[in-house]
Amino acid sequence: MFINASSLEYHPTADDLRPLMHHPALVVLLIQYREGLGNRRGAIWNVGKANWGVTDSKVWLNEQFTSFGFKPQA
């Protein structure tokens, strides 16, 4: 669901993001992920890597959600 919400096809407004402002780390994660989708070579999950790919983004995103205390879907 987060990946779909982070899609570059959508352009969230301030009103769309307002309910999330109580969770600033989640908003930052959303922005970082969107920026990475728009610029894969400069994406945060590719910092210091010669090769890059979609798999790296999913691994990075899973690590970020784990750091928030979310658990993987069983």
DSSP run (H or E) holding 30? helix 24-38
Distance CA 50, CA 73 (A): 31
- Is the pLDDT at 1 greater than 60, yes or no? no
Question: Is pTM beyond 0.85 here?
Answer: no
Residue 37 φ then ψ, to 5°: -65, -35
Asked if 57 contacts 3 with a C-beta cutoff of 8 angstroms, the reply is no
Read off the tokens for 27: 């908003």
Confidence of residue 2 (pLDDT cuts 50, 70, 90): low
pLDDT tens string 7-36:
788 888 888 888 888 988 988 888 898 888
pLDDT value of position 54: 63
Cβ neighbours, 10 Å, residue 56: 17
**Domain positions in the chain:** 2-67
Distance CA 36, CA 41 (A): 8
